[in-house]
Amino acid sequence: MDTRHLAMLALSDTGFVFDPRTGHSYTVNSTGLALLRGLKQGSSPAQFEEELRASFDCPATVTADIEMFISTLVNYELLGTDSTTELLA
């Protein structure tokens, strides 16, 4: 997983995300913000899911939701990888 671009993102506590490489800005909810922070600190999506499930009553779709968020990061070129499945292992 290539997190070089993630490392450059500016994240606010309110979910505002700024990419200084492109000037693009995004907003994420509190779960997305927690996942971005975890990825920036070196956690894997699987570790994040495990922590999320330990802390909250998660819906059955949580795995798919995380996969979709990771795919979005890859599509926006905020996260680099050879394949999205590599990230979820």
45-68 tens-digit pLDDT = 999 999 999 988 989 899 999 999
pLDDT tops 90 at residue 10: yes
**pTM higher than the cut 0.85:** no
**Dist CA 62 CA 60 (whole Å):** 6
pLDDT tops 90 at residue 12: yes
Please state the separation of Cα 26 from the chain's center in Å: 12
pLDDT at 83: 44
Q: Please name the amino acid found at residue 38.
A: G
**Dist CA 67 CA 44 (whole Å):** 12
| Eight-state DSSP code of residue 29 | -
DSSP helix/strand/coil, 31:
helix
User: What are the domain boundaries of the chain?
Assistant: 4-88
